[in-house]
Chain A
Amino acid sequence: MIRMVKAMATLIGHYLDVFLFGLWLGVICWLLLTGSDKAFLHPRFRLFLAGGGILLAAFMGVILYGPKRRSIGWPLAAASARALLLMAPLLFLSTVVDQRLGAHALTKKYTGMEQQTLLRLLESGKAKTGNAKPKPDMSLLEIARRMKQIDGRRVVTEGMVYRPDIMPENYLTLFRFAIFCCAADALPVWVFVEKAGVEAFDDEDWIRVDGTVQIVDFNGTDVPVIKADTILKKKAPTSGEQYLFF
């Protein structure tokens, strides 16, 4: 029995680090192949993630074909604890594959001044858009970019619902998150939507809004309000499609 335990410990000791690198390599491949990386990172990070995968494979290779760990007992226990800690993000990753940043994240990331920031931030995009009449179907990011340009025009856009208790009757906040690098730096992009009966929608419902944009003064800041003609509930996108990307 003791001999079997020792043999097992030796085996774990030999291949623990190989297993760790292999596991992370597998997860990176899975993220890249399924597009699930977009649930956490900007697509421009795919290249870096792929580079990380190559390094993991190289690290795994040299350990697999190199000399192995000899000692067992406490050193092995310490190495196992270290490896387990490095696996902790995987545990969390497995629980959030189908989840999204929602209303709770909005309340934590909201500063109230996103519209002004986005307007200035996206000023460089003006040249590209020129004076051409914008198509009505546009993302919340596009609305922020062309806020002044589309005042009084019809737009069709989509996002999540947020209606805090202080929200006036017939109004809701339509929001999504836009990310620069990863979900940790997500910036909420939002507009107000006005229509009778919006109280029927629950927080985090995904809706498609068709209406006319009006710029109003909100706490001293210009913000867009969509006077909606129709609001349709829609299926939530996959976690990889939830963000807008700068």
Chain B
Amino acid sequence: MAGLIVFFRHTPEFATLSITFVSIFLEALPFMLLGAFIGGFIEVFVSKTIITHIVPARPLPAILLAAGLGLVFPVCECAIVPVVRRLFGKGLPLGAGIAFLLGGPIVNPLVALSTAVAYGNNQAIAGYRLVSGYLIAVAVGLLIDRFFSRKTALVNEPRGNIGEMDDGCNEPASSPGISIQIRRAFRHGASDFIDIGRFLVFGAFVAGVLQTLVARGDLAALFGSLPLSVLAMMTLALLLSLCSEADAFVAASFRTTLPLTAQMAFMVLGPMLDLKLVAMYFRVFKKRLILVMSLLTFIIVFLSMMAGTWVGR
């Protein structure tokens, strides 16, 4: 990074890279902080018993419920990672966590609104996006639940303290005062931000580099047929790492060049899987799970988009 600044500082490419990188980071920062803050409160105030009571024991109902949680708990993809990480620490079943992680940023009233606006108040497109996102999150959640266990999927549970500080975070929970608990929640939040924030920096930087090097129009123009245009838009979604509340506007800019299926693939995949998110997933999941989950998500989004087109005919 320092080399880039020293050698390329005065080039137009550097300006594009820097503005894009800083923009992605600044846009995600408040939501990342909010996610860390909520995660800290979950850590302190939500017990494993509560999670066991709320989340159904059987995988299917748990996954069906979790994939639609974004409707009542609307969080974007940057905020959801630290929240899910803490929920896993509280015993949230693996499949349900994955379904919430993938579905939450799409099955979300704010995303529905922005999608409808981007497509000239077309609520059908917003509905199609939400339903697709929900079904794909459920499918991936079920498959991951089938083939992985918490032990093979999750990295070590968050320790809940900053660095090696002995901050009292790990004291036995012998009913401390509310102010101590709140302070503890904030400390957990701060710890999560530092722990996951660096992955956000890395992901935003790589997305900035790719936005600087890859032209949106060229990528879309490379592919003529429907399957290839869907693949092109999915690749673009991976590279651009846009916020799920803004990506519909970029997808809409392709509405006269590419079929709706390709635009939908862009809008469904982006909030589930992009470079910034993959970088952040490394703080929650083991490499093998990230690889399998990424491939599964990519393949299922592609197949469901193609199937949707086929059914539509």
Q: Identify the A interface with B (CB < 8 A).
A: 13, 17, 20-21, 24, 31, 37, 39-41, 45, 48-49, 51-52, 55-56, 58-59, 61-63, 66-71, 75, 79, 82-83, 85-86, 88-89, 91-93, 95-96, 99-105, 107-114, 116-117, 120-121, 123-124, 180-185, 187, 221, 246
Contacts and interface: CB of A to CB of B under 8 A. Distances in A.
Contacts of A89: 21-22, 25-26, 201, 204
Contact of B27 (A39, A45, A51): A45
Contact of A113 (B12, B15, B197, B253): B253
A91 B5 CA distance: 9
Interface of B: 1-2, 5, 9, 12-27, 29-31, 33-34, 36-37, 114, 117-121, 162-168, 183, 186-187, 189-190, 193-195, 197-198, 201-202, 204-205, 207-208, 211-217, 220, 240-243, 245-247, 249-250, 252-257
Given A121-B119, A182-B246, 20 more contacts: A20-B194, A39-B19, A62-B190, A69-B165, A79-B163, A93-B18, A95-B9, A99-B18, A102-B15, A107-B215, A108-B215, A109-B216, A110-B215, A110-B217, A112-B257, A114-B253, A117-B255, A123-B120, A184-B208, A184-B240
Contacts of A56: 33
Which of B5, B15, B241, B245: most chain A Cβ within 10 A? B15
A163 to B, nearest CB: 15
Q: Which of A41, A52, A100 has the most chain B CB within a 10 Å cutoff?
A: A52
A52 B22 contact: no
Contacts of A59: 33, 186, 189-190, 193
Contact of B253 (A55, A111, A184): A111
Q: Interface on chain B toward A: helix, strand, loop, or mixed SS?
A: helix
A85 B207 CA distance: 16
B29 A52 contact: yes
Contacts of A93: 18, 22
- For B21, B22, B197, B220, the residue with the greatest tally of chain A CB atoms inside 10 Å of its CB is B22
Nearest to A45: B27
B16 A180 contact: no
B201 A88 contact: yes
B163 A40 contact: no
Given A96-B15, A124-B117, A66 B167 contact: yes
B215 to A, nearest CB: 5
B186 A40 contact: no
Given A40-B19, A182-B23, A51 B34 contact: yes
Contact of A101 (B16, B186, B245): B16
B246 A185 contact: yes
Contact of B120 (A104, A114, A121): A121
A183 B20 contact: yes
B200 to A, nearest CB: 9
Contact of B254 (A61, A113, A181): A113
Contacts of A184: 20, 23-24, 27, 207-208, 211, 240-242
A110 B243 CA distance: 19
A183 B217 contact: no
Interface centre among A31, A49, A75, A96 (most CB of B within 10 A): A96
Given A95-B18, A101-B15, A40 B23 contact: yes
A103 B13 CA distance: 10
Contact of A58 (B15, B25, B186): B186
Contacts of A86: 194, 197-198, 201
A17 B194 contact: yes
B3 to A, nearest CB: 12
B216 A111 contact: yes
B164 A55 contact: no
